[in-house]
Amino acid sequence: MRPEAMAEAARWLAQAERDLAAARDLARTGHHNVACFQAQQAAEKAAKAVLYARGAEDVFGHSVRELLRSAAASAPALAALDDAAMRLDRLYIPTRYPNGLPGGIPADAFSAADATEAISQAEALLAAARATIG
C-alpha cells in the first residue's frame, strides 16, 4: 500500500472514531436521533478509510452498504457486516429531517434502544475497518 493511501485512510478512520465517540456522548444525553446519525457517519467514514487504504483516490457516496460492498471486493471479511451496514443506511435521512418521517420530528422518533443498536453496529464496522487496514 502506498504511504499516502495509508495516511488518507488514517485520517478517515480517526474521524470515524471521533464520530463514534460523539454518538456515545449524544446517546448518554438523550439525543438519540443524532446519536443514530453519528453512528451512521462513523461507519460511513470507516468504510471510506478501508477504500482509501486499498488505493482508492476518490470515494463518494453515503451508503455504508454500498461502500462496504466496494471494500469487500478486496477485503472479503467485511461482507459479513452487510446487515449492519443496511441498518445504518436507514438512519441517514430520518434521523435528521422531519420529512423523512410519516409524522412528528426526528428528536421524538428514535429511542435509547435505537441509539444503542446503531452504536453497536458502528463499533463492529470500525473494528473490522481497523483490522482490515492493519
For the entire predicted model, the pTM comes to: 0.95
Contact 24, 6 (CB under 8 A): no
Taking 3-state DSSP, the helix, strand and coil percentages for the chain, each rounded to the nearest 5, stand at 75, 0, 25
Query: What average pLDDT does the structure give for the chain?
Result: 95
The topology (CATH level 3) of 3-133 is: Four Helix Bundle (Hemerythrin (Met), subunit A) (1.20.120)
Q: Alpha-carbon distance 51 to 61, whole Å?
A: 12
Per-residue pLDDT, averaged over 62-66, amounts to 97
Listed by start position, the domains of the chain span 3-133
pLDDT of residue 73: 86
pLDDT of residue 103: 96
Q: What is the pLDDT of residues 74-120, one digit of tens each?
A: 888 899 999 999 999 999 999 999 999 999 999 999 999 999 999 99
Q: Alpha-carbon distance 96 to 131, whole Å?
A: 31
Contact 123, 40 (CB under 8 A): no
